[in-house]
Amino acid sequence: MGGGRLEGKVAIITGAARGQGECEARLFVEEGAHVVLGDVLDAEGSAVAEDLGEKAVYVHLDVRSEEDWAAAVTAASQLGPLNVLVNNAAVTHFASLKETTLEDYNRVIGINQVGTFLGLRSVFDPMKEAGGGSIVNVSSIDGLKAKNGLVAYASSKWAIRGLTKVAAIEFGRHNIRVNSLHPGGVDTVMGNPTGSEDIDLFYKNQPIPRCGKPIDIARLALFMASDECSYSTGSEFIADGGWNVGEFLPYLPSST
Ligand SMILES: NC(=O)c1ccc[n+]([C@@H]2O[C@H](COP(=O)([O-])OP(=O)(O)OC[C@H]3O[C@@H](n4cnc5c(N)ncnc54)[C@H](O)[C@@H]3O)[C@@H](O)[C@H]2O)c1
């Protein structure tokens, strides 16, 4: 049983068929929200919504499509006034800058960046009518720094910070908060594509020496979505096990 931290709220979560989005949908329902789950993986997404029962509904939502966004907003309006959006859907692409084709680049930007833009634009009117709300734009640690081999993804995740700040300034006077969430490594299909059981080893020199779990991120998304986060907008919320801070160097002294 949850603590009702989202009691009475209606949320749309994109990319909710699996991974962090699914975990957020489950936690939000547990905390009293009604949730519209959007994704392009219709079988998986419908199964999650069915499992969650009457407080959840699945819609096919390709975040690149304005029509799909309109349908998601309509589905949300049937549950009540829309208060929360989590722009979570994303894809990644590993290739050197030289080998990233225009098609690869546009695909990642189209889903991650343009999808977030369309989400912001699609929910503005209904949230304003609802009297306010909270939008969580999922960026990444790769939206705070960079890595080789991730040019399209990192560009899209940096852009999400910019989108967040402009939207925060414009929407703030309508009582709509907009913040970005920056996960570090998380054990999902994206963060652990081979499903390795030794994934924590990769993070052994991180301040918190393990890979993140979807619930580590979902709990932060819950806080950001809830009224507990009432005075934050345009801000960056990090849940990365300290990745962004620095690395533990085993050959230098440390507290034991
Ligand atoms: N896993 C990590 O290590 C990690 C790290 C930092 C940030 N993130 C971010 O966290 C978020 C969630 O990722 P995840 O780890 O759960 O990955 P995931 O791949 O398990 O989930 C992503 C979901 O987005 C959906 N999706 C893809 N294209 C879509 C589209 N066009 N329209 C709608 N849905 C679409 C997928 O079907 C999938 O269900 C993403 O924004 C990702 O960039 C992940």
Domains identified in the chain and CATH numbers? 10-239 (3.40.50.720)
224-239 pLDDT, tens digit each: 999 999 999 999 999 9
Give residue-wise pLDDT tens across range 199-224: 999 999 999 999 999 999 999 999 99
With pLDDT > 90 as the criterion, what percentage of the chain qualifies? 99
Which atom belonging to ligand 1 lies closest to the Cα atom of 212? Answer: 3
pTM of structure:
0.98
CA neighbor of 4 nearest in space, from 222, 255, 245, 212? 222
pLDDT of residue 2: 72
Q: Per residue in 19-35, pLDDT tens?
A: 999 999 999 999 999 99
Picking from 215, 152, 158, the residue whose alpha carbon sits closest to that of residue 182 is 158
How far is 191 from 175, CA to CA, in rounded Å? 34
Which residue CA neighbors atom 31 of ligand 1 most closely? 62
Mutate to test the pocket of ligand 1, among 88, 153, 190 (most ligand atoms within 8 A of CB): 190
When the pLDDT of each residue in the chain is averaged and rounded to a whole number, the result is 98
